A = this chain, B = another copy of it.
Amino acid sequence: MTVELISVGTELLMGNIVNTNSRYLSRKCAELGFSLYLQITVGDNEGRLCEMMKAALSRADIIILTGGLGPTQDDMTKEAVAKVLNRELIMDEASRERISSFFKFRYGQNAVPPVITENNWKQALRINGCIVVENDNGTAPGYIVETEGKTVILLPGPPSEMVPMFAQHIFPYLKKKQEKVFVSKMVKICGVGESRAETILIDLIEGQSNPTIAPYAKDGEVHFRITAAADNEEDAEKLLNPMVEELYKRFGDNIYTTDEEESLEQVVVKLLQEKNYTVTTAESCTGGLLTGRLVNVSGASDVLREGFITYANEAKMKYLGVSSDTLKAYGAVSEQTASEMAKGAAEVACTEVALAITGIAGPDGGTIEKPVGLVYIACSVKGHITVQEFRFMGTRQRVREQSVIYALDLLRRSLL
């Protein structure tokens, strides 16, 4: 099966947004074992879209279009596809109903109902003979059209709508078109740099055939996708498992999961739940990002009841009992302060575990002894405190994000 992607949107051609949809869909096509030969981006222009659409239909088995399904005049993906396939657009009553309740829900039962502007109803039109795919995160539905042995799929542009729609509805639909069974695991590694990780696996990467092994770099983490193809799931897993075991041999505890859907914060929350521990946080330069990541996990309330954002020295003293002598002698960004933050947070919040971060995120505030990127992370587990020093590279945002990942990883290792 060959696939082509067509991204529609002048905002992509203007460079206002990065095309993450193409990346996501490319990965998913690889997972499905489809061959993706082309990605095309066109603006909100019916003529050019029709031209690209015709060319794609002449080459590929499956065409996936994203964007241009919204309510505005610009949005004309559906119209262009209908034209190329020579099909009518007809009103879809179910979609009309859904849009209406979307607005009702959004503004509440007792609120003055908003005027649903006429252009919104454009989103309720469907291509004759298509499958309408529900959108749980917005008003524009997706569409699947089967036509003369080809499949055309239309998806909304915003990634927050496109990704869940693809994962829930389109992926299972396309999977049925694949005769081989592909089974894959995502080996997620923390605490080892990308190039070192690749060096450790170079013989496996160079010698790969089935299963395949593909690296994906992520800020502060490295992921390897291992994929095996076979006639059935059982055979695929027989091929897959020895490779995964080999990676465990080489990376050990640095692997925190092999489950694609499982995040580092989920692993950490699970470990805390298993031990029946509660956790609190004390954040300086990250200013809430660490706790925000933990609260990503639905059910985090079992283990996390409160956290402290102590950005100023006074706050570190007032809420966490960091001593002014420590702050004077070693500074706010020091092993000692990080340690007292963790200790104090655990005591005040009465938790078994506390995680503290203090550092210089930049761009200002660095000195020769304490440069931008210097971060101390402390983890207290039942009174036993570990502090680690890091020197991160990059922008303010990047230093803070890496701090969060390494803090979660320190907590994970402390709980193992």
Contact = CB atoms under 8 A, between A and B. Distances in A.
Interface string A95-110: 0000000100111100
Given A73-B206, A216-B16, A363 B288 contact: no
Contacts of A219: 158, 160
Contacts of A22: 12, 15, 19, 41
Contacts of A169: none
A319 B296 contact: no
Interface stretch (A144-152, A251-259, A394-402): A394-402
Stoichiometry, as copies per complex, reads 2
A132 to B, nearest CB: 18
B393 A102 contact: yes
B304 A311 contact: yes
B16 A18 contact: no
A8 to B, nearest CB: 11
A235 interface: no
A58 to B, nearest CB: 12
A85 to B, nearest CB: 22
Interface residues of A, number: 112
Contacts of A18: 18-20, 23
Interface of A is mostly: mixed
A288 B292 CA distance: 5
Nearest to A392: B106
A310 B288 CA distance: 12
A94 interface: no
A214 B11 contact: yes
A309 B296 contact: no
Contacts of A289: 288-289, 292, 295
21 contacts: A13-B26, A15-B24, A18-B23, A19-B19, A19-B23, A38-B52, A39-B41, A70-B195, A71-B195, A105-B371, A108-B391, A137-B398, A160-B394, A286-B295, A287-B295, A288-B290, A304-B311, A305-B314, A306-B308, A307-B308, A307-B311
Given A137-B394, A283-B288, 5 more contacts: A12-B23, A38-B52, A73-B205, A137-B398, A287-B307
